[in-house]
Amino acid sequence: MTADTDFCRLGQAVIDTETAALVALRDRIDASFAHACRLLLACSGRVVVLGMGKSGHIAGKLAATLASTGTPAFFVHPGEAGHGDLGMLASGDCVIALSNSGETEEINRLLPAIKRRNLDLIAITGAPGSTLAEAAAVHLNAGVDAEACPLGLAPTASTTAALAMGDALAIALLDARGFTADDFARSHPGGRLGRRLLLRIEDLMHKGSAVPAVEPDTPMATALLEMTRKGLGMTAIVDADYRVTGIFTDGDLRRALDEGVDVHNTDISAVMTPAPRCVEAAQLAAEALALMERHSINGLLVNDARGRLAGALNMHDLLRGGVV
């Protein structure tokens, strides 16, 4: 029976082997890598990524990473390409082919068709003298001294190296294109990251008649009715120009009651929190979340570009918007 220490020892050996493969790979980020980047930047079509087996999984991930970081790309299965999917390739496209041996039959059968279309081919292999490497305009060497598999058979260190080489290409292109966080968010609108980078406060805030607001000389009891009607646990106190002079929250109410304040004969200005923290409608919703968390508050008043009350936002709105 295998002991726990043996499991850990074997696991650590895998990490050591794959770490060594990545360290060696770093020295191969050279003129060939820069050439590949320039070919991809100059590509007027799309980047078509090929790979079979485990290399196919890495190729699919590379295509997805390129597509989400500003380089239009998609994966084509080499086996299907020979049965019609080759029609996906068009003039101006660039091809990246992954094969550790460089002798994958399904890929090499496509080389004449890629050449006839005059498409730039970038090969990522572990064999510089292979058929695929020799046929490519640029060869990127992702070879490893040993697989992490103790049998030396299962693709492990080699796929890790190919994955890292692909990531290096994608991120180098991202930087060269000036790809920004906003660009990334537009490629990921359905995810939490996209929502954090795209959603503005104005997209989530309560507006118009839904915003609780009273004047400074409003009796506290009337202000409480306004809070209750609007259901946000707070009300803004605004001057004649609709600029925020204070805020009154559930917390302020508890403190006032603890102090024995007469809710019927006290103006709201006497118990409000003056000069509250406010945000602008055009700010990111994620900025409002950060402000709430930093100051341990559950709601914020929102100003427009002219500094006048435009809305109100609470933690429930951020939860509803998927920002939290």
Last residue of a domain, one of 179, 211, 241: 179
pLDDT at 189: 54
Residue 119 lies in a domain: yes
pLDDT at 186: 61
pLDDT at 88: 87
pLDDT at 48: 97
CATH code for position 223: 3.10.580.10
pTM: 0.67
Residue 157 and residue 246 share a domain = no
Contact (CB, 8 A) for 152 and 146: yes
Residue 166 and residue 35 share a domain = yes
First to last CA, the chain: 46
pLDDT at 197: 64
How many domains does the chain fold into? 2
Residue 82 and residue 170 share a domain = yes
Residue 207 and residue 107 share a domain = no
Q: What is the pLDDT along the chain (324 residues), one digit of tens a residue?
A: 778 898 999 999 999 999 999 999 999 999 999 999 999 999 999 999 999 999 999 999 999 999 988 899 999 999 998 777 888 899 999 999 999 999 999 999 999 999 999 999 999 999 999 999 999 999 999 999 999 988 877 899 999 999 999 999 999 999 998 876 666 666 655 556 656 667 889 999 999 999 999 999 999 999 999 999 999 999 999 999 999 999 999 999 999 999 999 999 999 999 999 999 999 999 988 899 999 999 999 999 999 989 999 999 999 998 888 877
pLDDT at 190: 54
Return the ∠ at Cα 213 (arms to 210 and 215), rounded to 5°: 155
Residue 260 and residue 158 share a domain = no
Residue 172 and residue 39 share a domain = yes
Enumerate the H helices of 92-248 as residue ranges. Answer: 105-108, 111-116, 131-135, 157-177, 181-187, 192-198, 201-204, 220-230
Residue 97 lies in a domain: yes
C-alpha to C-alpha distance for 286 and 198, rounded to whole angstroms: 9
Domain that holds residue 80: 4-179
Residue 110 lies in a domain: yes
Residue 173 and residue 284 share a domain = no
Residue 51 and residue 150 share a domain = yes
Last residue of a domain, one of 122, 145, 179: 179
CATH code for position 133: 3.40.50.10490
Residue 122 and residue 63 share a domain = yes
Q: What secondary structure letter does DSSP report for 261?
A: -
C-alpha to C-alpha distance for 214 and 159, rounded to whole angstroms: 64
Residue 189 lies in a domain: no
Residue 187 lies in a domain: no
C-alpha to C-alpha distance for 250 and 228, rounded to whole angstroms: 10
Residue 193 lies in a domain: no
Q: What's the half-sphere exposure (Cβ side, CA atoms, 13 Å) at 193? A: 9
Residue 174 and residue 45 share a domain = yes
Residue 157 and residue 43 share a domain = yes
